[in-house]
Amino acid sequence: MGFIELILRRKTLLFAVGILFSLVVISIFATYFVPYDPDALSLSDRLRPPSTAHLFGTDHFGRDIFSRTLVGTRVTFILGLSISAFALVFGVPLGVLSGYYDRVGMVLMRVIDAVMAFPAIILALALMAIMGKPGMVNVIIAVGMVWAPRMVRVVYSSTLSLRENTYVEAARALGASSGRILIRHIVVNLLSPVIVQSTFTFAFSIMEVAALNFLGVGIPPYIPSWGGMMNEGRTYIIRAPWIILFPGVFLALSVLSFNLLGDALRDRLDPKLRNIV
C-alpha cells in the first residue's frame, strides 16, 4: 500500500495532511495576502472583538490578530523546522557513531544519559538563561539541545540493531570499509526512524517554545509567533479571549496534525519502532 493510498484511506490522516499542507501554504504566502501589517500599532483600536474589519479581533496594541496569526505560522514553522534540523544535525552523526563503535557509544551515551536526566523544560530554561538574550536563534539552540539527545538515542538504538543485520555482516565479510558500510547500509536505513522522530520533535518543540514564552524566556514577544501571542494574550483571557484563542487553535491544530502524521508514519514505516520512539 503506497503512502498516498494510506493517506486517502484514513480520514484522520487526510485531515492531518490537509491541515499541514494549508499551514505550509499560509506560512509561505501569508505576508502577501494578510489585510494588515502584523506589527502595525494602532492604539486607538485596542482590544476590539472579532468583526468584519478584524476577523479575529485586535490585541492590546490594536494589532490585527488575523494577520498576526497567519504570519505567525511562518515563525512557528521556521522554529519547528530549525529545531528538528538542529536535532538531526547533531543526533544522526553522534547516534550512528555511538551505535557503530562500541567505545564511542560507551562514552557518548553516558553523557547523553546525563543530559537526558534533566527534565526538558528545566534544561531549556537553564540554557535560555545562559544565553541571556531571548531570540529565535537562542531558542532554536536551547530547545534543539534538549531534543538532540533524544534523536541520538533513537538513531543509536536503530544503528545497534541494523549493524547486526546479515547484509551488514556480509558487507563487512566482503571487505567493505567502515565508512562505506556506515553510509551505504546504515544511514540509508535510518530514514524511517529519523523521519518519525522528527515529526514528534517538531510537535513537541513548538509546544515547548510556547511554554518557554509563558515562563518569560522565549523568543522576543514582538515577533508574531503563536506561543508569543498566547503568552501576551493570557492577561486578557477574561476581557479579550480572542487574543489567546485564535493562535491557540492554530497551535493545537498543527501539533495535533504532526502527532497524527507521526503515529501513522510509525505504524506504516516500521511497527517495531513503537518501542523505541
User: Does residue 244 bind other proteins (CB under 8 A)?
Assistant: yes
* Cβ 196 to other proteins shortest distance, Å: 15
- What residues contact 116, with CB distance under 8 A and at least 6 apart? 149, 150, 153
Q: Select 113 or 169, whichever has its Cβ closest to other proteins.
A: 113
Q: Which of 163, 214, 268, 276 binds other proteins (CB under 8 A)?
A: 214
Residues 166 and 170: their CA atoms lie apart, in Å, by 6
The contact pattern for other proteins, residues 25-44, with x = CB under 8 A and - = no contact, is ----------------x-x-
Whole-number Å distance between alpha carbons of 136 and 223: 9
User: In the set 88, 162, 230, 273, which binds other proteins (CB under 8 A)?
Assistant: 230
- Cell numbers representing residue 115 in the block: 543530559
**Shortest CB 183 distance to other proteins, Å:** 26
Cβ atoms 183, 123 nearer than 8 A: no
DSSP line for 208-221? HHHHHHHTT-SS-T
Closest CA to 20 of 259, 211, 277: 259
Give Cα 87 distance to the centre of its chain. Answer: 10
Total residues contacting other proteins (rule CB under 8 A)? 57
Instruction: For other proteins, give the closer residue by CB, 188 or 237.
Output: 237
**Interaction of residue 110 with other proteins, rule CB under 8 A:** yes
Contact 115, 149 (CB under 8 A): yes
Task: Give the shortest CB-159-to-other proteins separation in angstroms.
Answer: 15
Cell of residue 102, nine digits: 562500541
CB of 77 to other proteins, least distance (A): 16
**Does the protein bind other proteins through residue 234 (CB under 8 A)?**
yes
User: Is 85 in contact with 175 (CB distance < 8 Å)?
Assistant: no
Give the residue from 197, 83, 228 showing the smallest Cα distance to 141: 83
C-alpha pair distances (Å), 17 with each of 27, 163, 205 = 15, 34, 19
b/e code 190-215 from CB counts within 10 Å (16+ = b):
beebbbbbbbbbbbbbbbbbbbbbee
Least separation in angstroms between residue 117's CB and other proteins is: 4
Unique residue bearing C-alpha cell 515563525? 75
Binds other proteins (CB under 8 A): choice among 33, 133, 166, 175: 133
- In the bound complex, what is the minimum distance in angstroms from residue 1's beta carbon to other proteins? 16
The one segment of 95-103, 151-159, 174-182, 252-260 that binds other proteins by CB under 8 A: 252-260
Among the listed residues 65, 79, 211, 273, the single contact to other proteins using CB under 8 A: 211
Q: Does 274 bind other proteins (CB under 8 A)?
A: yes
Q: Which residues bind other proteins (CB under 8 A)?
A: 12, 41, 43, 46-47, 60-61, 110-111, 113-115, 117-122, 125-127, 129-130, 132-134, 203, 207, 210-211, 214-217, 220-222, 227, 230, 234-240, 244, 248, 251-253, 255-256, 259-260, 263, 274
